[in-house]
Amino acid sequence: MTAWDLFSLPFMQRALLAAVFTGLAAPAVGTYLVQRRLALMGDGIGHVAVTGVALGLVTHTSPTWTAVVVAILGSVVIELIRERGHAGGDVALALLFYGGLAGGVLLSGIGGKSATTLQEYLFGSITTISAGDVIVTMVLAAVVLVVGVGLAPQLFAVAQDQEFAQVAGLPVRVYNLLVAVLAAVSVTVAMRTVGLLLVSALMVIPVATSQQVTRTFRTTLAASMVLGFVASLGGLVISTFASYHATVAPGPTIVLLALACFILAWPTGAWLRRRRAALPTGGATDV
């Protein structure tokens, strides 16, 4: 069987669908997180979601749904702690993250689940995704995309300058919580693709890459989604071909491909920045 035949198999088609939707949705939310300088928030939610997965495994319900619920609860708590802006908020977040990860590992152990079961969620297992999970992934990703792109003017304004948005009469808190919930949903969407421990990578790296060469928010958002799409799909295809020679997991391949794009874009960005600085219109004396 050639690799192309492999793509005609149902499990591979499910994997492709999951990869495409995840690759588009994760950077859409990631853009707002990076804009608010909360690049690691997805990572934190991912840690908390481990407890959600374990709860599902132990209670024999769908780990996807328990992860969605726990991740949303966790993201709301994280947002409320962040909003208060206390000096101790940073530590409170750390406690939440480690509690979530340790709790998840402990719970799944108590439930008699082996480490490999949990590992599917920690590092992704896109080729074992069920038809039901693919549909859930697609629906959740579509919701994230519609909200993240449809409310772009509002979410941009709030992330750009929260105080200005508040005086402009925007319901800042609602939008902040919305971004947190969207992040939680994308974490669970990406959970099967790249795994909870690498979720943040798919949310942040495409954004970091695209902003090397872009200068507007719109193009950054669009380019991040394209890059996320390319990395997920490309990573899955590369790992499929490479699997003939060695065990190549799709999750890490996707993340490393995204990183490779960043490494390629970075010198271009550095060159562009230097060139812009040299232009007469970019000088500080221009009034």
Near another protein by CB under 8 A: residue from 7, 11, 123, 156: 156
Choices 20-28, 89-97, 150-158, 190-198 (CB under 8 A): range interacting with another protein: 150-158
Please answer whether residues 82 and 90 qualify as being in contact, where contact means their C-beta atoms are separated by less than 8 angstroms.
no
Least CB distance from residue 159 to another protein, whole Å? 6
Q: Is residue 160 close enough to count as binding another protein by CB under 8 A?
A: yes
Positions 190 through 209 that interact with another protein (CB under 8 A): 207
What is the 3-class SS of 168-236, one letter each residue?
CCCCHHHHHHHHHHHHHHHHHHHHCCCCCCCHHHHHHHHHHHHCCCCCCHHHHHHHHHHHHHHHHHHHH
Q: Is residue 280 close enough to count as binding another protein by CB under 8 A?
A: no
x/- track of binding to another protein for residues 83-112 (CB under 8 A): ------------------------------
Amino acid letter, 4 = W
Least CB distance from residue 73 to another protein, whole Å? 26
**For residues 199 and 221, what is the distance between their CA atoms, to the nearest angstrom?**
18
Q: Is residue 167 close enough to count as binding another protein by CB under 8 A?
A: yes
Near another protein by CB under 8 A: residue from 1, 5, 87, 163: 163
Please answer whether residues 176 and 79 qualify as being in contact, where contact means their C-beta atoms are separated by less than 8 angstroms.
yes
Burial (0-12, 13-18, 19+ Cβ within 10 Å), 89: middle
Q: Is residue 266 close enough to count as binding another protein by CB under 8 A?
A: no
Near another protein by CB under 8 A: residue from 10, 112, 280, 283: 283
Amino acid letter, 264 = L
Please answer whether residues 63 and 182 qualify as being in contact, where contact means their C-beta atoms are separated by less than 8 angstroms.
no
x/- track of binding to another protein for residues 16-45 (CB under 8 A): ---------------x--xxxx-x------
Near another protein by CB under 8 A: residue from 1, 87, 263, 287: 287
Tokens of 210: 């695209």
**What is the separation of C-alpha 79 from the centre of its chain, rounded to a whole number of angstroms?**
17
Which positions lie near another protein, rule CB under 8 A?
A: 31, 34-37, 39, 150-151, 153-154, 156-157, 159-161, 163-170, 207, 211, 214-218, 220, 276-277, 281-287
